[in-house]
Amino acid sequence: MKLLVISDVHGEHYIMKQVLEKEADADAIFFLGDGIRDVEVWQRANPQRRLYAVRGNCDYEQMWPEEGLAAFDNTLFFYTHGHEYGVKSTLSVITDAARARGADVVLYGHTHYPILTEQDGIRLFNPGSLSFSLRINGPCYGVLTTAPGGKVEFEHKTI
């Protein structure tokens, strides 16, 4: 399965729309916060697309959760914005939260810094930001490809 992971849109809805059109073959979309209103507009126009979304520290819509779990091809994903777990200073808290939930992979945003790392057997993936990425020149996002048996391929992409 192909999973699109985006975060930190911060009002750059035209960039988000461009990515969603470019990756239209994604089986599901993870939105990791900070731009939830833009995602709501897109979702109303595309109700057939499978969306897993959480609110971030700049989102004030209470109807969206702060975290979630989703399983694809025998891999359990824990997804959240990350600000409640102090991801700008450590990844150990969010790793512990993922372990407590039985997750294999953590998807998080907030830092605007694309990263793929592993801690204590749990893979952590931050797609970076569609508004401003701190490591890659320009907006970036993630594409994950899952396969039966828990195999996941991770990729950061730029626009």
Number of independent structural domains in the chain = 1
Range of the domain at 87: 2-158
Q: Are 65 and 55 in contact (CB under 8 A)?
A: yes
SS3 40: helix
Which helix (H) or strand (E) segment holds residue 98: the answer is: helix 92-101
The verdict on pTM exceeding 0.85 is yes
pLDDT in tens, 7-40: 999 988 899 999 999 999 999 999 999 999 999 9
CA separation for the pair 142, 60 (Å, rounded): 24
Per-residue burial over 39-55, b = 16 or more CB atoms within 10 Å of its CB, e = otherwise:
beebeeeeeeeeebbbb
- 7: domain CATH number? 3.60.21.10
- Residue in 13, 53, 60 with CA at minimum distance from that of residue 33: 53
The alpha carbon of 33 is separated from its chain's Cα centroid by a whole number of angstroms, namely: 8
**159 residues of the chain, pLDDT tens digit each:** 999 999 999 988 899 999 999 999 999 999 999 999 999 999 999 999 999 999 999 998 778 999 999 999 999 999 999 999 999 999 999 999 999 999 999 999 999 999 999 999 999 999 999 987 776 778 999 999 999 888 999 999 998
Q: Are 38 and 11 in contact (CB under 8 A)?
A: yes
**Biggest alpha carbon–alpha carbon distance for the chain:** 40
